[in-house]
Amino acid sequence: MIIDSQTNFVYFSGLLRSTFPEEYARISSILNEHKVNHGLLKSTKGYWCRDYMPIQIGEGEFVGFRYEPSYHKEPEDIAAQSDPKLVCQSNGIPAKFSNINLDGGNVVRWHNRVMISDRIFDENEEIPQVKLIDQLEKFFKAEVIVIPQVKCDMTGHADGMVRFVGRDTILINELENEYKYWQKGIKRVIIEHNLNYIEVPWSEPKSNKTISALGCYINYLHVGDLIILPKFNDDNLDAKAYNLIQSVFKTSTVKTVEINRIAEEGGVLNCISWGILSQ
């Protein structure tokens, strides 16, 4: 499995640049400053490209999934769903596809492990759970660890809750601010898989929008030895999050960027990006 620190190219949907030009310019400026190549995906219908793009298993090896999220219920949402096969074909991405329904934002990966929330079971009820996990492990060539979803999160994605630091160490959102059922569930996973964990500061969104991701620092963009961390104009929390991430990734460069308008739509930096190891 190709992990974030091995990637060397970042894609964004072309719609991101047209919908959020100022935010895209800020991100591009940081990437250019650190000589990270990046480009725009063609044939997309949404700017959350992480969700409909495939997972890179190895050099030139990608596995894609069906993109029919349960939170796309209205006709206009369904009409705006990107077609993963079309996007890959239009951009020369040689992906093999599974019929399993899975968003890329619900896949947090390490070399031989991935974490996926139990939303995967809700969106594939026709497949017995044991069989589903077995199929995913064969596609990923990695162990699948299932974590609890946050029930009030529309997407149920793992990338807003956890990230890998190493095979046996993960980042998680500060537990004291989490729901009791999630605390209990993630602690069970940690014990079962003998994991170490580091808590990342976060805050409840200060927004009128119920889907807002304001305050979710764990959804950063990591490409090579560069990490771009969101900041939310909360000086205290912004500083705490920056110091924590820099202390964890000592050999990486950590830069911050304000993209609150994007966060208010329900996602942050990992959601809008798709990093790969380009040949």
Residues 6+ apart with CB under 8 A from 153: 160
Architecture (CATH level 2) of domain 4-276:
5-stranded Propeller (3.75)
Dist CA 10 CA 199 (whole Å)? 27
Phi, psi of 132 (to 5 degrees): -60, -45
**Per-residue pLDDT in tens (0 to 9) along the chain, 279 residues:** 999 999 999 999 999 999 999 999 999 999 999 999 999 999 999 999 999 999 999 999 999 999 999 989 888 888 889 999 999 999 999 999 999 999 999 999 999 999 999 999 999 999 999 999 999 999 999 999 999 999 888 899 999 999 999 999 999 999 998 889 999 999 999 999 999 999 999 987 765 556 789 999 999 999 999 999 999 999 999 999 999 999 999 999 999 999 999 999 999 999 999 999 998
Which CB contacts under 8 angstroms, 24+ apart, belong to 82-87? 82/13, 82/43, 82/44, 82/45, 82/46, 82/49, 82/52, 83/43, 83/45, 83/52, 84/52, 84/53, 84/54, 86/43, 87/41, 87/42, 87/43, 87/44, 87/52, 87/53
C-alpha angle 266-269-274 in degrees, rounded to nearest 5: 110
User: Which residue carries 């992906």 as its tokens?
Assistant: 95
What is the model's pLDDT at position 207? 58
Going from the C-alpha of 30 to that of each of 26, 27, 92, 109, 111, the distances in angstroms are 7, 5, 26, 24, 27
Residues 6+ apart with CB under 8 A from 55: 1, 62, 63, 64, 104, 107, 109, 140
CB-side neighbour CA atoms (13 Å) of 167: 6
What is the model's pLDDT at position 234? 94
Phi, psi of 234 (to 5 degrees): -115, 95
What is the model's pLDDT at position 185? 97
